[in-house]
Structure 1
Amino acid sequence: MREREERELAKTIIKQDQDSTQELNQEVEEVIRSGRYSEGAKRSMKVRMKSQVGVEEIMARKGKLADDTEHKDIWIKRDMNLEEREKEKVLRNEAEEKNEKRTEIEKKNFYWSVLDKRLKKWYLRKKEEVVEEARN
């Protein structure tokens, strides 16, 4: 029964992620929970899809979940092998180091984060506002 509920949860989240013409929730092949079941505990879930096309569509639209208040604490990440996880760990450490070295002004304007296996600078305000403030 728990497996069926988990499968339905995965389908619901995928349905939130897709546009109205797609039926990606029908692409769910298998749902696997990690760790032991414990009442009320949160565990990660691995969802295996029938096609790579479905995976790419979901990954392209995963940002839509940010607007979904019911599932706001759910994250979608691509499954990675050991080598990919190690590379991402190095990038996360690099982002953390760069964030620690920012000046107070820089902290108001941007931060470093890892996205799609790349180190990325995220601006908190428009670049034009930052330039204007620097001029003043």
Structure 2
Amino acid sequence: MRECEERELAKTFIKQVQDSTQELDQEVEEVIRLERFSEGDMRPMKERMKSQVAVEEIVIIKGKLADDTESKYIWIKRYMNLEEREKEKVLTNEAKEKNEKRMEIEKKNFYRRVLDMKLKKWYLQKKEEVMEEARN
């Protein structure tokens, strides 16, 4: 019974991000809960999709969940093998170190994060505002 509920929950969140023309929720093949069951706890889910195309579409449009308050605890990430996870861990640690070394003015303007397996600057303000502040 819980498996059916989890499958429906997974389909519900996919429906939230898909376009009206897409039927990505029909591509769910299997839903697996990770970690042990504990009453009231949230546990990660692993979804297996029927096609790689559906996976790529979902990863592309996952940003639609960012503004939804009901799904603020949902993160969608593509599956990574051990080598990719290790690389992401190294990049994440590097981002943390660089973020800690920023000067106060830099802390107001940007931080570093890992995105698409690359270390990137993530600006908190528009670049024009940053440049103007730097000039002053």
Smaller-chain TM-score range?
over 0.9
> Structure 2, unaligned stretches of length 5 or more?
none
1:110 corresponds to 2:117: no
Distance 2:36 2:131 in 1: 51
Q: Residue 71 of structure 1: CA displacement?
A: 1.1
Counterpart of 2:132 in structure 1 is 132
What fraction of aligned residue pairs are identical, expressed as a percent? 80
Length, aligned pairs only: 136
SS of equivalent residue, structure 1 residue 91: helix
SS of equivalent residue, structure 2 residue 4: helix
Q: Residue 20 of structure 1: CA displacement?
A: 1.0
Counterpart of 1:2 in structure 2 is 2
Distance 1:67 1:8 in 2: 22
Q: Residue 36 of structure 1: CA displacement?
A: 1.2
Distance 1:135 1:81 in 2: 45
Q: Residue 67 of structure 1: CA displacement?
A: 1.4
Counterpart of 1:91 in structure 2 is 91
Counterpart of 2:119 in structure 1 is 119
Q: Residue 34 of structure 1: CA displacement?
A: 0.7
Aligned residue type for 1:60: I
Aligned residue type for 1:63: G
Poorly superposed stretches of 4+, deviation over 4 Å: none
1:70 corresponds to 2:62: no
Counterpart of 1:26 in structure 2 is 26
